């Protein structure tokens, strides 16, 4: 490892670097230094990697840049759809997630579907795909989301509107999607959202679930230090010696894994008591007999699906509500679409919408898709190359190098999306007749692409469209965070720094209300 020797060099270069002295062009040019290459630019921009990736992508004709320090594996940062197709599909077997990352999160996520490669991944993928493809599963998801909306989310918004209370909508969405994924995937309702409502008192049996959610949040963020130097070199020692922050991580992990084990146990008990009533995914998985599943495997299912399915939808909703709050024209069209359904289908007495109705909401689908294009919940992906390879644009990738793709940068390339690439324009996704027109997943890899594409895409859309349709039908939302663009938090996911403070007001009755 040459890095320790090079750190002083990097540090000196870093001190000499004064962004004010440089012409704007220089920043984009990413000057190459002896031995450390472009690495100092990366260090300099550690605090804003997501935004910086846009500059990096725009400066290269093929939107691909290599960072290479002598003696260390290189990192290729790309925003090129052809390169992505190569790593995600064409040469899939050469680009696993890689042990570098997996060993750092193993004590949290085990070797679940999200954190495994090769055969270990494949059998889990097969078993999970089978469950996700069932129509009964979709119906189950629609019903579960509907109950969460009617029982918890809409009453919470109603209360806030009535009392003029400001809500942190990011927190609300995180609680909502936590409850929702627990319900659909594990057949439990931890009711964390009810606890987010300050007016209510928390029953003791729910405190456990809230503690679990807090500990899960903590681990998810704290574990990221293992990726940042110098902690990336020290964390194993600190873990062995039970030193902070590893000590705190271990304590939080005890809470997380203990609760996940209890979810598995309760799920098995329910299954034994009433084998016919299984609706949730975990129960199906346990009973599928895809392989002799140990309780540890099932615990990994719990943590992996929570990670994959929870904050992703919450992040998507957070940016969506912020974007729409600045665009009354988009809001009007959303409300118009919802009202049209109420008119067509008449007063069915149902507060929520059916699967078929949700499917036909093309404008809302386009608006959510456009919002995720600009603010992808997973803003960057990483793969590690097993052997020497050459990407379609000619970039060399050495054995053991990382290839990262930036979704955030891809969305901001004129070449891909046109001159208005930075504009929030749902119509981009609509055909002349108003129906939704999908794009290649390599150009818009919000749910990734190829064999490891997201399994929960349809489930996520059901959830997000239900929330948007039901919430905007009844309420309007005003952003209270000021004129500036909200900050982005550095994490696996694109969270909004400081939350999303919003004022909720009841909308004037629509054409059919009280009909
Ligand atoms: C807006 C919401 C969502 C977005 C943007 C999203 C995005 C993604 C992305 C980018 C990946 C690939 C990540 C990687 O390989 O590093 C992924 C994988 C995955 N997602 Fe989602 N996801 C969402 C919701 C969900 C939901 C609701 C579920 C279901 C519980 C889910 C289940 C999964 C699973 C199981 C994988 C791993 C697939 C594999 O490795 O074979 N996702 N998702
Ligand atoms: C895939 O990667 C390997 C390196 O492990 C390389 O030898 C091979 O040529 C690549 N295959 C394709 C189709 O590019
Ligand atoms: C590549 O991705 C890894 C994992 O997300 C991250 O730690 C690293 O900073 C990324 N590098 C670049 C140059 O974006």
- Tens of pLDDT along 31-78? 898 899 999 998 888 888 899 999 999 999 999 999 999 999 999 999
Give the model's pLDDT for residue 206. Answer: 73
The band of 185, judged by pLDDT with boundaries at 50, 70 and 90, is confident
Selected residue with higher pLDDT from 404 and 295: 404
The band of 489, judged by pLDDT with boundaries at 50, 70 and 90, is confident
Which ligand gives the minimal distance to the CA of 116?
1
Residue nearest to atom 3 of ligand 3 (CA): 382
Give the model's pLDDT for residue 492. Answer: 80
Distance in angstroms (rounded) separating the CA atoms of residues 168 and 480: 10
Q: Model confidence over 361-378: pLDDT tens digits?
A: 999 999 999 999 999 999
* Mean pLDDT rounded to a whole number for the chain: 88
**Cα–Cα nearest to 491, from 241, 174, 181:** 174
Give the model's pLDDT for residue 243. Answer: 92
The ligand 1 atom nearest the CA atom of 185: 30
- Identify the residues whose C-beta falls under 6 Å from ligand 2: 90-91, 94, 386-389
Place of tokens 């024209």: 329
* Residue numbering of the annotated binding site: 454
Residue nearest to atom 9 of ligand 2 (CA): 389
The ligand 3 atom nearest the CA atom of 492: 5
Give the model's pLDDT for residue 290. Answer: 56
pTM over 0.85: yes
Helices (H), 228-359: 231-240, 246-273, 281-287, 295-309, 311-325, 328-345, 355-359
Give the model's pLDDT for residue 158. Answer: 96
Complete domains list, the chain, with CATH: 1-102+377-410 (3.30.43.20), 110-376+411-506 (1.10.630.10)
Q: Model confidence over 108-140: pLDDT tens digits?
A: 999 999 999 999 999 889 988 988 888 778 888
From 79, 376, 402, mutation site for ligand 3 pocket: most ligand atoms within 8 A of C-beta:
402
The band of 279, judged by pLDDT with boundaries at 50, 70 and 90, is low
Residue 439's φ and ψ, nearest 5 degrees, are: -115, 165
Give the model's pLDDT for residue 174. Answer: 94
**Is the CB of residue 227 below 6 angstroms from any atom belonging to ligand 3?**
yes
Whether residue 289 has pLDDT greater than 70: no
Distance in angstroms (rounded) separating the CA atoms of residues 379 and 490: 10
Q: How far is the CA of 305 from the centre of ligand 1 (A)?
A: 8
Question: Can you say how many angstroms the Cα of residue 338 is from the centroid of all Cα atoms in its chain?
Answer: 26
Whether residue 172 has pLDDT greater than 90: yes
Whether residue 514 has pLDDT greater than 80: no
**Is the CB of residue 77 below 6 angstroms from any atom belonging to ligand 3?**
yes
> What string of DSSP letters covers 5-66?
HHHHHHHHHHHH--GGGS-HHHHHHTPPBTTTBTHHHHHHTGGGHHHHHHHHHHHSTTSEEE
From 94, 96, 395, mutation site for ligand 2 pocket: most ligand atoms within 8 A of C-beta:
94
From 46, 403, 404, mutation site for ligand 3 pocket: most ligand atoms within 8 A of C-beta:
404
The band of 21, judged by pLDDT with boundaries at 50, 70 and 90, is very low
**Is the CB of residue 124 below 6 angstroms from any atom belonging to ligand 1?**
no
Give the model's pLDDT for residue 58. Answer: 95
Comparing 10-14, 108-112, 199-203, 417-421, which segment has the lowest mean pLDDT? Answer: 10-14
**Is the CB of residue 75 below 6 angstroms from any atom belonging to ligand 3?**
yes
**Is the CB of residue 368 below 6 angstroms from any atom belonging to ligand 1?**
no
Residue nearest to atom 10 of ligand 3 (CA): 404
Average pLDDT over residues 206-227: 88
Whether residue 1 has pLDDT greater than 60: no
The band of 292, judged by pLDDT with boundaries at 50, 70 and 90, is low
Whether residue 24 has pLDDT greater than 60: no
């Amino acid at each position: 490892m040459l890095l320790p020797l090079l750190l002083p060099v990097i540090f000196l270069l870093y001190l000499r670097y004064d962004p004010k002295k440089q012409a704007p062009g220089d920043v984009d040019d990413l000057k190459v230094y002896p031995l450390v290459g472009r690495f100092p630019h990366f260090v300099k921009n550690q605090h804003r990697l997501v935004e910086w990736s846009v500059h990096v992508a725009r400066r290269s004709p093929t939107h691909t840049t290599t960072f290479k320090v002598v003696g260390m594996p290189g990192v290729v940062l790309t925003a090129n759809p052809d390169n992505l197709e190569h790593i995600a599909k064409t040469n899939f077997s050469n680009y696993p997630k890689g042990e570098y990352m997996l060993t750092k999160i193993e004590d949290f996520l085990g070797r679940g579907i999200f954190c495994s490669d090769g055969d270990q991944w494949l059998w889990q993928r097969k078993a999970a795909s089978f469950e996700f493809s069932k129509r009964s599963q979709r119906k189950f998801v629609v019903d579960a989301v509907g109950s969460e909306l009617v029982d918890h989310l809409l009453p919470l918004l109603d209360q806030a509107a009535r009392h003029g209370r400001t809500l942190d909508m990011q927190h609300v969405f995180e609680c909502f999607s936590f409850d929702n994924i627990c319900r659909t995937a594990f057949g439990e309702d931890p009711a964390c959202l009810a606890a987010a409502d300050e007016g209510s008192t928390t029953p003791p049996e729910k405190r456990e679930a809230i503690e679990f959610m807090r500990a899960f949040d903590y681990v998810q963020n704290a574990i990221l230090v293992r990726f940042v130097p110098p902690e990336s070199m020290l964390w194993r020692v600190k873990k062995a010696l039970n030193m902070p922050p590893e000590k705190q991580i271990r304590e939080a992990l005890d809470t997380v894994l203990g609760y996940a084990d209890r979810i598995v146990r309760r799920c098995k008990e329910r299954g034994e008591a009433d084998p016919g009533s299984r609706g949730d995914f975990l129960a199906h998985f346990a009973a599928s007999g895809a392989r002799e599943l140990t309780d540890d495997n099932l615990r990994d299912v719990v943590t992996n699906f929570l990670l994959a399915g929870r904050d992703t939808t919450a992040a998507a909703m957070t940016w969506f509500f912020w974007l729409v709050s600045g665009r009354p024209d988009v809001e009007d069209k959303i409300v118009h679409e919802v009202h049209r359904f109420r008119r067509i289908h008449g007063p069915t007495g149902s507060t929520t919408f059916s699967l078929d109705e949700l499917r036909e909401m093309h404008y809302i689908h386009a608006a959510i898709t456009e919002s995720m294009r600009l603010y992808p919940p997973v803003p960057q992906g990483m793969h590690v190359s097993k052997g020497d390879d050459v990407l379609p644009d000619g970039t060399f990738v050495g054995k053991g190098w990382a290839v990262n793709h930036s979704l955030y940068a891809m969305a901001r390339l004129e070449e891909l999306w046109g001159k208005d690439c930075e504009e929030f324009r749902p119509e981009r996704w609509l055909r002349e007749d108003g129906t939704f027109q999908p794009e290649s997943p390599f150009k818009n890899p919000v749910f990734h692409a190829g064999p490891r594409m997201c399994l929960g895409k349809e489930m996520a859309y059901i959830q997000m469209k239900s929330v948007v349709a039901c919430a905007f039908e009844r309420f309007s939302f005003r952003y209270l965070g000021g004129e500036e663009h909200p900050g982005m938090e550095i994490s696996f996911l694109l969270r909004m720094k400081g939350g999303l403070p919003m004022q909720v007001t009841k909308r004037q009755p629509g054409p059919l209300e009280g009909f």
